């Protein structure tokens, strides 16, 4: 899939999430719990005498089972810090003070259930936070965006290990890909590349592969457990399934970067 189209689709999901949750009061309680931790940490380290307040929840934030990754943007305000009011959310502090750096915070649980990361940095210094944010169980920071960690990606090489919420959307991609690609050969699941889930919006980017299995109308285009051998000369198929303002989009295309150029 062309990079420009993938970025456009992901941007659409980002806008949906960001526009819904620009106000702290509109956030689900599950997010507020972790954002409050970020507010406390940021007010201790940033803002000087000015209160640091919630500005925006970033679309990389997600929950999966017992794992969570909350990425939030905070801002310095015209309010003064007040020990009596504390460092949590203050409803009256909504005016951003000009020429103050934006604060980017991540709150996540660490891999293996060993603890929690609360990490805040000025937006221009986030690129230096890779080491600590890479310990998050779901995502890690790359400097180009947030993608699945290698550990999580490795866990989901097998379709049967995927959460049901993922299978639902991947099955849609399998149906479209087998209709449009592979010729006589069945197109199967290979790998989850990226994903975003919120309460109502989703973005699933998956890589599929053309296999040595032959398509069978009786078995359908859904997942087939026996089809695991990739037909090496065939290109991979890159699919995105995501919610849109008007419904849902399922789009697949050949990923020619992964094609063996020696093939026919």
Pick the closest to residue 60 from 194, 239, 238, 247 (CA basis): 194
Rounded to whole angstroms, the maximal C-alpha distance in the chain is 73
Pick the closest to residue 74 from 35, 116, 126, 128 (CA basis): 35
Percent of the chain with pLDDT over 70: 79
pLDDT at position 254, please?
A: 85
Rank 22-26, 32-36, 59-63, 136-140 by mean pLDDT and report only the highest.
Answer: 32-36
% helix / strand / coil in the chain, to the nearest 5? 30, 35, 35
pTM of the model: 0.53
Pick the closest to residue 260 from 236, 238, 237, 233 (CA basis): 233
More confident position, 2 or 180: 180
Is residue 213 within 8 Å of residue 185, measured between CB atoms?
yes
Distance of alpha carbon 140 from alpha carbon 129, whole angstroms:
10
Q: What single string gives the DSSP state of each residue in 55-106?
A: EEE-TT-EEETTEEEEEEEEEEEEEEP-TTT-SS--TT--PBPTT---EEEE
148 pLDDT exceeds 60? Answer: no
Q: Which strands make up the sheet holding 247-255, listed edge to edge?
A: 185-197, 202-214, 236-244, 247-255
pLDDT at position 259, please?
A: 45
The two tokens of residue 55 are: 């500005």
Distance of alpha carbon 251 from alpha carbon 60, whole angstroms:
21
Beta strands in the chain (DSSP E): 50-57, 62-64, 67-80, 103-109, 116-122, 139-141, 146-148, 185-197, 202-214, 236-244, 247-255
Is residue 238 within 8 Å of residue 1, measured between CB atoms?
yes
Distance of alpha carbon 241 from alpha carbon 193, whole angstroms:
12
229 pLDDT exceeds 80? Answer: yes
Q: What is the mean pLDDT of residues 20-25?
A: 71
pLDDT at position 196, please?
A: 72
pLDDT band at 5 (very low <50, low <70, confident <90, very high): low
Other C-beta atoms closer than 10 Å to the C-beta of 92 total 10
256 pLDDT exceeds 70? Answer: no
Least confident of 43-47, 94-98, 131-135: 131-135
180 pLDDT exceeds 60? Answer: yes
């Amino acid at each position: 899939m062309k990079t420009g189209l993938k970025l456009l689709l992901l941007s659409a999901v980002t806008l949906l999430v960001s526009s819904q949750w620009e106000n702290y009061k509109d956030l689900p309680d599950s997010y507020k719990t972790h954002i409050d931790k970020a507010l406390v940490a940021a007010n201790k380290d940033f803002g000087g005498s000015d209160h640091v307040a919630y500005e925006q929840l970033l679309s990389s934030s997600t929950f999966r089972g017992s794992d969570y990754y909350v990425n939030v943007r905070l801002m310095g305000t015209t309010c003064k810090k007040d020990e009596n009011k504390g460092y949590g959310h203050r409803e009256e502090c909504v005016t951003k003070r000009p020429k103050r750096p934006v604060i980017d915070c991540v709150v996540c649980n660490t891999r293996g259930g060993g603890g929690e990361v609360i990490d805040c940095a000025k937006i221009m210094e986030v690129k230096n936070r890779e080491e600590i944010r890479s310990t998050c169980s779901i995502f890690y920071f790359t400097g180009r965006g947030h993608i699945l960690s290698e550990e999580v990606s490795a866990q989901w090489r097998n379709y049967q290990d995927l959460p049901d919420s993922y299978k639902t959307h991947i099955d849609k991609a399998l149906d479209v890909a087998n209709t449009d690609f592979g010729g006589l050969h069945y197109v199967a699941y290979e790998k989850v590349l990226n994903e975003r889930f919120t309460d109502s919006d989703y973005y699933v980017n998956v890589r599929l592969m053309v296999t040595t299995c032959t398509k069978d109308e009786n078995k359908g285009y859904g997942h087939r457990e026996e089809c695991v051998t990739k037909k090496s000369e065939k290109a991979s198929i890159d699919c995105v399934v995501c919610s849109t303002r008007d419904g849902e989009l399922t789009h697949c295309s050949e990923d020619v970067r992964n094609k063996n150029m020696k093939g026919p």
